[in-house]
């Protein structure tokens, strides 16, 4: 992933995943509902260098932590004892990692 257009497309994909999985159960019809959260998560994934890893399964716990922290930052209503919230974040993180790694040619399955 080199160009600006690819980054914009990846942000749109992250936003779509968050909207589809709706980890905060907002049920909002707005397409851009999770865009700030998607941008925060994407930035953290990039900073973490996930695209450099060859082991997707090792990334998931870290990605889940990022999703949890971002959601707690953007939504003050998150309860520390909500098991459904953490399960939702793990599911979202797993999908976001798949999307993120697919944007890097060296991480596409057919290139392994």
Residue 83: its pLDDT value, please?
80
Q: How far is CA 80 from CA 40, 84, 90, in A?
A: 21, 11, 15
Q: What is the mean pLDDT of the chain?
A: 86
Convert the pLDDT of each residue in 74-102 to its tens digit: 988 777 677 888 899 999 999 999 999 99
Residue 106: its pLDDT value, please?
65
Residue 71: its pLDDT value, please?
93
Under DSSP, is residue 23 helix (H, G, I), strand (E, B) or coil? coil
The answer to whether residue 104 scores a pLDDT higher than 70 is yes
The answer to whether residue 111 scores a pLDDT higher than 60 is no
What is the domain extent for residue 53? 4-111
d(C-alpha 38, C-alpha 73), whole Å:
12
Under DSSP, is residue 66 helix (H, G, I), strand (E, B) or coil? helix
**Alpha helices of 1-82 — where are they, by DSSP H?**
4-21, 35-48, 56-74
Q: Please give the structure tokens belonging to residue 20.
A: 């589809």
Left (φ > 0), alpha (ψ -120 to 50) or beta: where does 22 sit? left
The answer to whether residue 2 scores a pLDDT higher than 60 is no
Q: Please give the structure tokens belonging to residue 87.
A: 């399960």
pTM value is 0.84
Residue 26: its pLDDT value, please?
87
The total domain count for the chain is 1
């Amino acid at each position: 992933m080199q160009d600006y257009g690819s980054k914009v497309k990846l942000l749109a994909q992250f936003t779509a995943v968050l909207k589809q999985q709706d980890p905060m159960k907002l049920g909002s019809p707005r397409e851009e509902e999770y865009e700030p959260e998607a941008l925060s998560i994407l930035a953290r994934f990039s900073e973490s260098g996930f695209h450099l890893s060859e082991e997707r399964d090792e990334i998931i716990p870290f990605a889940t932590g990022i999703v949890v922290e971002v959601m707690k930052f953007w939504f003050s209503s998150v309860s520390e004892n909500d098991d459904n919230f953490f399960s939702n974040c793990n599911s979202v993180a797993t999908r976001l990692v798949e999307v993120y790694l697919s944007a890097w040619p060296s991480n596409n399955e057919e290139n392994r």
